[in-house]
Amino acid sequence: MGDHRANIKLEMDFHDKKYKTEMYINYCDDFNGVDQRVITFFEESYADGMRRYNAAIDKYSQEKRLKNQETEEKELLAKLKSKYEK
């Protein structure tokens, strides 16, 4: 019948991380003709990248919240000092 295999290298650079894999794949006669391992590679890489992205967003949000809180506290302290140092 013939050989339906191919050797492929996949690289995906996503949110400051490079995902790489190399595999022999087979043509799959399903709805899309793609070896499931290729789909799995991209799904797992994307999920990991999104976890990293969400963690970075959470860290940024927390840092911003703390900075805003510190600014508010400094303003309140300055206001109280000016009130009681007169």
pLDDT of residue 77: 94
> Per the structure, how many domains does the chain have?
1
CA atoms within 13 A on the CB side of 61: 6
Q: What is the pLDDT of residues 40-50, one digit of tens each?
A: 888 999 999 99
Question: pTM value?
Answer: 0.62
What is the span of the domain harbouring residue 13?
5-84
Give the residue carrying structure tokens 């894999």: 21
**Range from 14-23, 54-63, 73-82 carrying the lowest mean pLDDT:** 14-23
